[in-house]
Amino acid sequence: MGKESSGRGEKAHGIPQGGVLREKFLPVSPEDLRERGISQLDFVYVSGDAYVDHPSFGPAIITRLLQDHGYTVGIIAQPDWKNPDSFSYLGRPRLAFLVSAGNMDSMVNHYTVSKKRRQTDAYSPGGKTGRRPDRAAQVYSSLIRSQFRDVPIILGGIEASLRRLAHYDYWSDSLKKSLLCDSGADLISYGMGEHSILEIAEALNAGLPISEITYVPGTCFRTRDLSSVYDAVLLPSYEELCRDRENYAKSFRIQFQNTDPCSGKRLIESYGSFYVVQNPPAMPLSTLEMDDVYSLPYARTYHPDYEDAGGIPALEEVRFSIVSNRGCFGGCSFCALTFHQGRRIQTRSDDSILQEEVLISKDPLFRGYIHDVGGPTANFHQPACKKQLKSGVCPKRECLFPEPCKNLEISEKSYADLLRKMREVPGVKKVFVRSGVRFDYLLLDPSDDFLKELVGHHISGQLKVAPEHVSDRVLRLMGKPPHQVYLKFAERYLRMNRALGKKQYLVPYLISSHPGSQMEDAVELALYLKSIHHQPEQVQDFYPTPSTVSTVMYYTGIHPLTGEKVYVPRDPHEKAMQRALLQFQDPKNHDLVLEALKSCGREDLIGDGPGCLIRKGREKHGKAGKTDDTSDAGAGSRQRPGKRARR
């Protein structure tokens, strides 16, 4: 919290939801420092989010981990960026400032896919907007540098992680430099960050200058001298990227092939007079390390200073949820997980998860329902194959796409066993699975054990899944299985419901205007929706965010991994027509749907027949149907306000 919001008034020792005193939190004010006898903090963590001390929030994990290793850490949450003094009221840190824009990219947090300002911010007190600047990581870092010329600044969080090298920026429609170039920061800690931040802290504490900390896996640094950089690949320079978009596609392909700590090379990007060097990724956490991380003494709620404002909305989705795994080998083109968490699955032990469940069950606000147990993909609960444990993931092959790898080990038994154990914890009425379930992986499992558990005990009325489209042409570009695979899953799901005497439905996530989607594809999707009698209340439009395959396709018109040319719907009116087709039954969309059908020669779908989408005539109506402003498809790792936060 910034200086203006951290005063200790009458409610300084107030109790937020869950009954946790402020003494359970890390210091946020000079008064906190005096009371705890801290004359100088080792680290000051600056965040674009309000302060929530819960393990689903990346800043909480990093700060608690540093505290556990003996370092003192203070929090400046949502400082007033118009007042540089807001960054100095906790004093000069002994070792470094740590800076994060928050649990989402600040531009995704602020703007819808149509570049309109969002009306709420789930990570701010009371959900109110305006508590952080655009491009928060850069703004915060620059202001800190203006106040503290020689204190190391280390950027982390998803905004810095996905902007660590040159990247396409949708909001300015331009190719931006690495965040290191204009921020004044010394290092970027990318990915989940636990290993790299501890190694950086150890080096700083030993007296090593920040300029010499160039060897830590999972970091990026600036340099003018490459003499000590070894085992490296030279990427196209920033000048070459700006000159030819094909060079950007080539550069991204190289980056994509170097995202595993076992096989990844150092990458060098030239900016003329200096270079940005990306070290290979840090090793993923072991099960024991993950258990340790999630057993740290989190307050598990928001700081009491936010009580009068109504708390932090983003907490409510995850307050009673449990992270069971990290990483994803699904390979969706519109997702940035490959660049952020990696493709290797990391899991916690059952004992660790059950201990957290018991802890949750004792919360005074708990009503018996675990809202979710999972991660990026719930039923990915083990590594894709044994080879990954020694050699890492294959640089040029995917585990599931375009066909499942012959080495893929398919088993959902351990996850099903975990769910059974969780149901037995006293005080727990139901454990929901709301993380993504990868249906093509589920179909590969010859056993119905997990599906039976899921349908019988862990959903309520409906299961949300992500086929994303029905056109195989578009699905291939999305990195998703053919539509027939989803239909087979839907049939298997229906059979299981009937066998268990249940009547539960599938709710499909669908994306409009993804690269490769032509009007004919959007019509095909509309006809499918008509056939299943489903009309989405809100429509997800593809949102180009940094460091995804789909975003590179959007910017370059080239699939970076195959080199093929890709049609990209960029015109706002064309995108509006594709979006309207998904809500063809809404009278407000009649004119757009009519124009869309005529544009691709599908007048046969205009009329009063049972197979038609719209009638020929209509009464006058208002504006077209709305785009979903909160669940923007393709928003890197599916960054949704309130979605499980990631470092």
Question: Which of 531, 520, 634 shows the shortest CA–CA distance to 577?
Answer: 520
Give the model's confidence band at 616: pLDDT under 50 very low, under 70 low, under 90 confident, else very high: confident
User: Token pair for residue 301?
Assistant: 């709620």
- Widest CA span in the chain: 78
Tell me which of 191, 219, 247 is where a domain ends.
Answer: 219
DSSP 98: E
Return the amino acid letter for 595: E
User: Token pair for residue 325?
Assistant: 């795994």
- Tally the domains of the chain: 3
Predicted pLDDT at 21: 81
152 part of a folded domain: yes
Predicted pLDDT at 637: 46
Encode pLDDT of 549-607 as tens digits.
999 999 999 999 999 999 999 999 999 999 999 999 999 999 999 999 999 999 999 99
Same domain assignment for residues 84 and 214? yes
CATH for 385: 3.30.750.210
Same domain assignment for residues 456 and 521? no
Higher pLDDT, residue 645 or 202: 202
Predicted pLDDT at 537: 80
Encode pLDDT of 396-434 as tens digits.
999 999 999 999 999 999 999 999 999 999 999 999 999
* Mean pLDDT (whole number) for 359-369: 96
Same domain assignment for residues 16 and 139? yes
Predicted pLDDT at 535: 87
Predicted pLDDT at 647: 36
Q: Cβ distance 325 to 346 under 8 Å?
A: yes
205 part of a folded domain: yes
Class of residue 271 by CB neighbours under 10 A (exposed 0-12, middle 13-18, buried 19+): middle
Encode pLDDT of 454-488 as tens digits.
999 999 899 999 999 999 999 999 999 999 999 99
482 part of a folded domain: no
301 part of a folded domain: no
Same domain assignment for residues 513 and 455? no
Predicted pLDDT at 629: 47
Q: Cβ distance 258 to 264 under 8 Å?
A: yes
Residues in the chain: 647
Mean pLDDT, all residues of the chain = 92
Which residue in this structure is represented by tokens 């501890």?
198
- 266, pLDDT greater than 80: yes
272 part of a folded domain: no
Predicted pLDDT at 632: 59
Lowest mean pLDDT among 283-297, 309-323, 442-456, 614-628: 614-628
307 part of a folded domain: no
Give the model's confidence band at 635: pLDDT under 50 very low, under 70 low, under 90 confident, else very high: low
466 part of a folded domain: no
Helix (H) or strand (E) holding 243: helix 238-243
User: Token pair for residue 395?
Assistant: 């640089």
Encode pLDDT of 137-174 as tens digits.
999 999 999 999 999 999 999 999 999 999 999 999 99
Q: Is the peptide bond before 560 cis (omega within 30 degrees of 0)?
A: no
> Which of 501-535 are b and which e, b meaning 16 or more Cβ less than 10 Å from the residue's Cβ?
eeebebebbbbbbbbbbbbebbbbbbbbbbeeeee
Tell me which of 400, 431, 460 is where a domain ends.
Answer: 460
Predicted pLDDT at 11: 37
Q: Cβ distance 83 to 3 under 8 Å?
A: yes
DSSP 558: B
Helix (H) or strand (E) holding 323: strand 321-323
Same domain assignment for residues 190 and 48? yes
DSSP letter string over 247-259? HHHHHHHHHHTT-
Encode pLDDT of 57-72 as tens digits.
999 999 999 999 999 9
Encode pLDDT of 147-157 as tens digits.
999 999 999 99
Lowest mean pLDDT among 196-205, 346-355, 638-647: 638-647
User: Token pair for residue 600?
Assistant: 């691709």
513/633 Cα distance (integer angstroms): 10
- 1, pLDDT greater than 60: no
215/137 Cα distance (integer angstroms): 23
Tell me which of 430, 460, 490 is where a domain ends.
Answer: 460
471 part of a folded domain: no
Same domain assignment for residues 444 and 556? no
Give the model's confidence band at 539: pLDDT under 50 very low, under 70 low, under 90 confident, else very high: confident
In degrees, to the nearest 5, what angle opens at C-alpha 439 toward C-alphas 437 and 442? 95
Domain that holds residue 447: 320-460
Encode pLDDT of 11-35 as tens digits.
333 444 545 688 899 999 999 999 9
Q: What is the pTM of this model?
A: 0.92
Predicted pLDDT at 125: 98
51/60 Cα distance (integer angstroms): 8
Helix (H) or strand (E) holding 176: strand 174-176
Same domain assignment for residues 448 and 522? no
Same domain assignment for residues 444 and 513? no
Predicted pLDDT at 633: 54
DSSP 92: -
419/416 Cα distance (integer angstroms): 5
Same domain assignment for residues 342 and 432? yes
321/311 Cα distance (integer angstroms): 18
Same domain assignment for residues 512 and 414? no
Same domain assignment for residues 111 and 214? yes
Return the amino acid letter for 353: I
Same domain assignment for residues 152 and 210? yes
